[in-house]
Amino acid sequence: MDILLLILIYAGIVQGFYMAFLLNHNKRRNGANKYLALLMVTMSVSILHSVFVVPEIQPSLHDPFKIREPFLMLVIPLIWLYVKKLEQPLFRFSLRTTLHFLPFVVFMAVNIQAMVYDPVQFLTESSTLLNGAIWAVLLIQYSFYLIQIVKITQRFKQRAEQELSNIELVELSWLNAFLYAFIIVFTLLAILFAGAIHHFGTQWMNRLVSLSFSMAIFILGYKGLFQQSIFSNAEAGTISEPISLEVNKPKAIDEILSVNLRKYMETFQPHRDPELTLTLLAKMVNLSRNQLSEVTNSSLGCNFYDFVNKYRVEDVKQLMVNSRFKDYTLLAIAFEAGFPSKSTFNSIFKKFTGLTPSEYRNGLS
């Protein structure tokens, strides 16, 4: 078991640097990749520090701290930067942004001073209290950023549903799940570490942190390669704020636009394009993005995502009773109607009908 753990940990080190290279040279890369690449490198360096530096060097130093992994303070701000950049392609790293790394800088400065020089009496006598305070800061830091990231991903999804008919490639639910799991593991480690301070060594703690980071490298690196921003840089500036509606326009105009929009959808079936966006459809019907968004939201009572997928669901229903498609599988029919994948098809179909595609088709027969 010990050999297996070491293999996984060493593989995480190599994988972190390798994924950082791929993220910076991926043809599908987006602006957020540089932050994800930096996160990969940070976790790899952290593993190297835990496995090689801590056991060999730090025990011989005059170090009053038992917090051996300062890089924990870098991980969550980097995840926050990655998610923020995904949501806002025009976001730029600024002097103000560096304040998010201040806890790491302060801790490193104090820790290095204590290790190089004999720590002052206060640090020696208050070692347990200081270690507890540091872990409290870490927990507060992680909790704060988790809340911020959840808010960002919620806004991310809302804006995606206003612009895209397929949000599969920009869905961040995988990152939310990882963050919740990471907080649970981190809280457990904090509780266990309190016992380690008073009762036994922390070598097992270093192994556990290293293994956790190795697993995170595999998961985040792989998913990050296929993640993309919602909008191009050119569009980002016009979509960073909610689309304004023309509230003074007579309702009759909205009604005419909505009728014409429905006729266009039924006649030309643009919903069959799985990559249909608000911008593309607006050009097709000779409306501005704001006008089309207002029609779907105000007159039709739904966002663009639901608007298009309602047509896809109705299209699937019609194809199911069409004799030309009687031998088609449900998935083939779904692709014909513009759905991008089986999972998206199943979830959206049940959302609008209350039945799975199989249940609906069986009911027809």
pLDDT tens, position by position, 303-362? 999 999 999 999 999 999 998 988 899 999 999 999 998 989 999 999 999 999 999 998
Domains of the chain, CATH where assigned: 2-235 (1.20.1070), 243-364 (1.10.10.60)
Mean pLDDT along residues 242-259: 58
**Is residue 97 predicted with pLDDT exceeding 60?**
yes
Residue 296 is predicted with a pLDDT of 87
Looking at the DSSP assignment, which residues form a beta bridge with residue 277?
164
Decide: 265 and 240 in contact? Cβ < 8 Å. no
**Is residue 246 predicted with pLDDT exceeding 50?**
no
Percent of the chain at pLDDT exceeding 90? 20
**Is residue 98 predicted with pLDDT exceeding 70?**
yes
Q: Is the dihedral of CA 15, 107, 83, 205 positive or negative?
A: positive
| Average pLDDT, rounded, for the chain | 77
Contacts 24+ apart (CB under 8 A), 356-365: 357/316, 357/330, 358/330, 360/317, 360/320, 361/320, 361/330, 364/320, 364/321
Residue 116 is predicted with a pLDDT of 64
**Is residue 242 predicted with pLDDT exceeding 90?**
no
Residue 305 is predicted with a pLDDT of 92
Residue 265 is predicted with a pLDDT of 92
Residue 240 is predicted with a pLDDT of 37
**Is residue 247 predicted with pLDDT exceeding 50?**
no
List the alpha helices (DSSP H) in 200-269.
203-225, 233-239, 251-268
**Residue closest to 86 by CA, chosen among 160, 147, 27:** 160
| C-alpha–C-alpha distance, residues 31 and 51, integer Å | 32
| C-alpha–C-alpha distance, residues 22 and 27, integer Å | 9
Decide: 274 and 165 in contact? Cβ < 8 Å. yes
Residue 250 is predicted with a pLDDT of 53
SS3 (DSSP) at 128: helix
| C-alpha–C-alpha distance, residues 359 and 365, integer Å | 10
| C-alpha–C-alpha distance, residues 221 and 39, integer Å | 9
Mean pLDDT along residues 132-143: 77
Decide: 179 and 79 in contact? Cβ < 8 Å. yes
**Residue closest to 84 by CA, chosen among 151, 143, 160, 28:** 151
Q: Of 3-7, 62-66, 174-178, where does mean pLDDT reach its minimum?
A: 62-66
Phi, psi of 277 (to 5 degrees): -125, 165
Most confident stretch, 14-28, 218-232, 236-250: 14-28
Residue 9 is predicted with a pLDDT of 83
| C-alpha–C-alpha distance, residues 300 and 267, integer Å | 18
Residue 124 is predicted with a pLDDT of 53
Q: Is the dihedral of CA 232, 235, 239, 240 positive or negative?
A: positive
- Counted residue by residue, the chain has a size of 365
- Name the helix (H) or strand (E) containing 259: helix 251-268
Most confident stretch, 13-22, 129-138, 160-169, 308-317: 308-317
Confidence of residue 281 (pLDDT cuts 50, 70, 90): very high
Q: Which residue has the higher pLDDT, 118 or 30?
A: 30
**Is residue 293 predicted with pLDDT exceeding 70?**
yes
DSSP assigned state of 50: I
**Residue closest to 108 by CA, chosen among 148, 77, 65, 147:** 65
Contacts 24+ apart (CB under 8 A), 99-106: 101/73, 101/74, 101/77, 103/73, 103/137, 103/141, 104/70, 104/71, 104/73, 104/74
- Name the helix (H) or strand (E) containing 249: none
Phi-psi region of 301 (alpha: psi -120 to 50; beta: other; left: phi over 0): left
